[in-house]
């Protein structure tokens, strides 16, 4: 979808508990930095590698930064897991069943660019990763054992650095 087309999408504005307070266009949500629902999927291969990706340079938020979760904005009325499966297919080109998603962390993240209530899942998949929608510029397979070192040496999306990396580091063993 083009950036112009994405700006016309409708988005639920939510309070910190995730309750819907308003529906606006994505463009309005971004322009006013309104809190919305986001979901992400951290993909781990059966070899224990996290599938990291660098965001395309034309993304509306944090272009060119590295991310550990494939995902994005949850649609109006869309269930969290449904959105996670959709986003994973759009961004990574892989399909998983909703019941294959394992909850990792949920919370509120806010900075000068983004205000979100997020739910993050993990999934195991070995690809191939085709990145069909053009939102991903490149991929990297990061061995679980070196994830903290890798994350510290890359320009990460701030919500990934604040939420995903700590949750992954606190996970008992690597997600399976």
Q: What is the mean pLDDT of residues 40-55?
A: 96
- In this predicted structure, the answer to whether residue 94 has a pLDDT above a threshold of 50 is yes
How much is the pLDDT for 74? 96
Instruction: Determine the Cα–Cα distance for residues 91 and 144; give it in Å rounded to an integer.
Output: 21
pLDDT digit string, tens, across residues 125-154: 999 999 999 999 999 999 988 999 999 999
Q: What is the mean pLDDT of residues 36-42?
A: 97
How much is the pLDDT for 13? 97
Instruction: Determine the Cα–Cα distance for residues 7 and 155; give it in Å rounded to an integer.
Output: 26
How much is the pLDDT for 172? 67
pLDDT interval class at 41 (50, 70, 90): very high
- In this predicted structure, the answer to whether residue 71 has a pLDDT above a threshold of 50 is yes
CA angle 86, 88, 91 (to 5 degrees): 105
Q: What is the DSSP string of 48-99?
A: SEEEEEEEPTT-SSSTT-EES-EEEEPBTT--HHHHHHHHHHHHH-----GG
Q: What is the mean pLDDT of residues 97-111?
A: 96
pLDDT interval class at 175 (50, 70, 90): low
Omega before residue 51 within 30° of 0, cis: no
Q: CB-based contacts of 156: which residues, under 8 Å, 6+ apart?
A: 65, 66, 67, 68, 165
pLDDT interval class at 8 (50, 70, 90): confident
Q: What is the mean pLDDT of residues 100-115?
A: 96
How much is the pLDDT for 2? 38
Instruction: Determine the Cα–Cα distance for residues 54 and 33; give it in Å rounded to an integer.
Output: 23
How much is the pLDDT for 171? 80
- C-alpha dihedral (143, 149, 153, 156), degrees to nearest 10: 70
pLDDT interval class at 4 (50, 70, 90): low
pLDDT digit string, tens, across residues 52-62: 999 999 998 99
Identify the helix (H) or strand (E) that includes residue 148: helix 147-152
């Amino acid at each position: 979808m083009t950036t112009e087309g994405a700006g016309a999408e409708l988005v639920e504005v939510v309070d910190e508990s995730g309750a819907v307070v308003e529906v606006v266009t994505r463009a309005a949500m971004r322009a006013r930095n309104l809190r919305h629902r986001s979901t992400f999927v951290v993909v781990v291969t059966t070899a224990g590698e996290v599938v990291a990706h660098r965001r395309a340079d034309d993304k509306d938020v944090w272009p060119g930064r590295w991310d550990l979760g494939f995902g994005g904005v949850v649609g109006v009325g869309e269930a969290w897991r449904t959105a996670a499966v959709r986003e994973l297919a759009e961004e990574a080109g892989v399909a998983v069943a909703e019941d294959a998603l394992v909850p990792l962390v949920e919370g509120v993240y806010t900075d000068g660019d983004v205000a979100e209530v997020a739910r993050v899942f993990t999934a195991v998949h070995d690809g191939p990763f085709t990145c069909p929608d053009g939102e991903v510029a490149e991929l990297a397979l990061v061995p679980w054992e070196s994830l903290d070192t890798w994350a510290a040496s890359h320009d990460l999306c701030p919500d990934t650095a604040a939420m995903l990396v700590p949750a992954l580091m606190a996970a008992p063993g690597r997600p399976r």
